[in-house]
């Protein structure tokens, strides 16, 4: 009797599989044990980690000393809530306070409240009975005139709607800028992430709940979300703004759903993704491309890395930030030099949200085949069934690609060959990587200018040299200047010190 999957693993793949299983199960057991430990024990290990961390040369060179005194010894020391920072970096005290509040925010409601906004949560039911949460940005006592246009923003892989509102400076959060310019701003969430973990029949602990890939996002999540927004707002069409996988989802959805074209006036694709080149680590890249289905053996067929948020909650934040940076470099060769160190602490706290293992397997199938295809459930190594490609050439909506010139995930030539030339434009942001277009210190000047220009002229093919902020954008920035001062990444040389943390009013534990 043959054992599914196991019988298809070659001899040279077994050592990696065994090592991965040992690491995966060890992490799982450690997380279980840690969760039942008294918080005093966790405090001890976290404080020990801080001491070791500051003695070790670290990639971001952020932690260089540790303040343990609770006494305010002078005006250069700024203490907020359960933190204490040395105010030597040049930013205002408000920047420190906002970073602390952002890290401590449990959800998008608390995050937008830091800037004076609120979100309305709307729950929709997809055609296959998943319940998704949409977030609509609102503002109490709003006197901003509405322009009658609706914008829908959708996140990337392993993310949620929170990624759009993590910037410490109000005017660098795209939803806030769009709202103040009069747009009706909505943000979506994929099935399986922290805001969409409900099904009419399936339990979240069941394998059936997590049996989805990019195909289900394209077949149900995206079109059902857009249909709801169009109906709720009574608008004719919306503008879709996607980040990373959020762009792949709309491309796929439009290619197989011609009626969806009637509801979208244009797509603004930030750090777009269709056929990524692969991983920076040649070993991992070769191994996972050759056997992407081995991910199931390592991580199961349910949720991918469920314990990440647990470790984020108890880990020393600069250490967590460093681990994210190191992982991004190992996997994608991203250096994230355009994101300030304090912005990383804020944004990385809201970077991860859950998804299915099957979604990641689907991406490895795409990278392996170098083809933007539907998920392929082959029955054996010698299966003769051919995967089905998404017919991206059938998309007939204006598409504007905004990508970083040093983004290792974007092969712009391949992407342009896949998308319809008649409707597609592309603009590179020099020196930007994947996440820089979302959280870079200069996104308002080097990314938002493209976005706002295309919102004004959706059908225009404007050379990058001629892209300029629109008049209404200039007026908005003039009347609403930056609310805090941030220093570009290159000049961050001073130290940050953090005292042990207690639960905030929101209930988060940062030790």
Residue 223 · residue 256 · CB < 8 Å? no
Residue 16 in domain: yes
Query: What pLDDT, on the 0 to 100 scale, is given for residue 80?
Result: 28
Question: Residue 258, SS3?
Answer: helix
Query: What pLDDT, on the 0 to 100 scale, is given for residue 479?
Result: 59
Residue 471 in domain: no
Question: Residue 450, SS3?
Answer: helix
- Looking at the whole model, is its pTM more than 0.85? no
Residue 244 designated active-site: yes
Question: Strand locations in 74-210, DSSP E?
Answer: 77-80, 83-86, 118-125, 130-138, 150-154, 184-187, 198-199
Low-confidence ranges of the chain (pLDDT < 70): 1-37, 39-92, 281-292, 378-384, 459-511
Residue 504 in domain: no
Residue 227 in domain: yes
3-state secondary structure 379-394: CCCCCCCCCCECCHHH
Q: pLDDT tens, 68-122?
A: 333 333 333 333 233 333 434 445 677 788 999 999 999 999 999 999 999 999 9
| Catalytic position from the list 350, 434, 473, 492 | 434
Residue 1 in domain: no
| Catalytic position from the list 213, 244, 368, 497 | 244
Alpha-carbon gap, residue 28 to 510, rounded angstroms = 20
Query: What pLDDT, on the 0 to 100 scale, is given for residue 28?
Result: 60
Other CB atoms within 10 Å distance of the CB of residue 131: 15
Backbone angles phi, psi at 84, to 5 degrees: -140, 130
Question: Residue 35, SS3?
Answer: helix
Question: Residue 373, SS3?
Answer: strand
Residue 435 in domain: yes
Alpha-carbon gap, residue 244 to 438, rounded angstroms = 10
The number of domains in the chain is 1
Alpha-carbon gap, residue 401 to 424, rounded angstroms = 7
Residue 505 in domain: no
Domain span including residue 331: 6-464+477-491
Can you give the CATH number for the domain in which 219 is found? 3.40.50.1820
Residue 498 in domain: no
220: which DSSP letter? Answer: I
Query: What pLDDT, on the 0 to 100 scale, is given for residue 312?
Result: 80
Alpha-carbon gap, residue 108 to 119, rounded angstroms = 8
Query: What pLDDT, on the 0 to 100 scale, is given for residue 494?
Result: 34
Alpha-carbon gap, residue 48 to 61, rounded angstroms = 18
| Catalytic position from the list 184, 407, 411, 436 | 407
Helix (H) or strand (E) holding 51: helix 39-55
Alpha-carbon gap, residue 3 to 77, rounded angstroms = 63
């Amino acid at each position: 009797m043959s054992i599914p999957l196991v019988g298809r693993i070659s001899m040279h793949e077994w050592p990696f599989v065994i090592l991965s299983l040992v690491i995966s199960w060890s992490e799982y057991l450690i997380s279980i044990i840690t969760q039942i430990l008294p918080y005093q024990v966790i405090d001890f290990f976290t404080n020990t980690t801080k001491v070791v961390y500051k003695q070790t040369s670290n990639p971001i060179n952020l932690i260089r000393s540790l303040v343990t005194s609770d006494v305010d010894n002078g005006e250069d020391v700024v203490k907020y809530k359960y933190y204490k920072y040395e105010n030597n970096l040049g930013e205002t005290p408000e920047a420190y306070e906002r970073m602390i509040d952002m890290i401590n925010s449990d959800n998008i409601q608390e995050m937008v409240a830091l800037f004076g906004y609120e979100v309305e949560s709307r729950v929709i039911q997809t055609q296959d009975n998943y319940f998704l949460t949409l977030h609509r940005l609102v503002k109490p006592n709003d006197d901003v005139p509405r322009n009658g246009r609706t914008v829908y923003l959708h996140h990337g892989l392993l993310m949620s709607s929170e990624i759009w509102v993590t910037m410490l400076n109000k005017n660098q959060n795209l939803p806030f800028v769009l709202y103040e310019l009069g747009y009706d701003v909505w943000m979506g969430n994929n099935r399986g992430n922290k805001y969409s973990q409900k099904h009419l029949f399936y339990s979240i602990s069941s394998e059936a709940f997590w049996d989805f890939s990019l195909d289900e996002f394209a077949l149900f999540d995206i079109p059902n979300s857009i249909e709801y927004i169009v109906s709720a707002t009574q608008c004719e069409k919306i503008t879709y703004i996607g980040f990373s996988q959020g762009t792949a989802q709309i491309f796929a959805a439009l290619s197989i759903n011609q009626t969806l074209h009637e509801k979208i006036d244009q797509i603004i694709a930030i750090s777009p993704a269709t056929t990524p080149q692969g991983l920076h680590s040649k070993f991992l890249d070769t191994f996972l491309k050759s056997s992407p289905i081995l991910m199931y053996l390592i991580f199961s067929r349910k949720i991918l890395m469920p314990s990440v948020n647990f470790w984020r909650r108890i880990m020393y934040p600069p250490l967590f930030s460093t681990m994210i940076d190191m992982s991004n470099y190992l996997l994608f060769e991203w250096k994230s030099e355009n994101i300030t160190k304090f912005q990383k602490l804020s944004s990385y706290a809201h970077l991860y949200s859950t998804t299915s293992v099957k979604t990641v397997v689907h991406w490895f199938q795409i990278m392996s085949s170098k083809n933007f295809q539907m998920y392929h459930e082959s029955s054996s190594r010698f299966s003769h069934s051919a995967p089905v490609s998404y017919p991206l050439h059938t998309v007939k909506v204006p598409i504007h690609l905004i990508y970083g010139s040093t983004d290792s995930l974007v092969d712009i030539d391949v992407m342009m060959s896949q998308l319809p030339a008649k409707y597609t434009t592309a603009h590179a942001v020099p020196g930007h990587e994947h996440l820089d277009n979302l959280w870079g210190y200069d996104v308002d000047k080097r990314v938002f200018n493209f976005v706002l220009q295309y919102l004004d002229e959706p059908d225009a093919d404007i050379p990058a040299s001629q892209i300029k902020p629109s008049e209404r954008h200039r007026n908005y920035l003039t009347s609403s200047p930056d609310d805090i001062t941030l220093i570009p990444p290159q000049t961050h040389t001073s130290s940050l010190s953090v005292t042990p943390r207690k639960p905030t009013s929101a209930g988060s534990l940062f030790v």
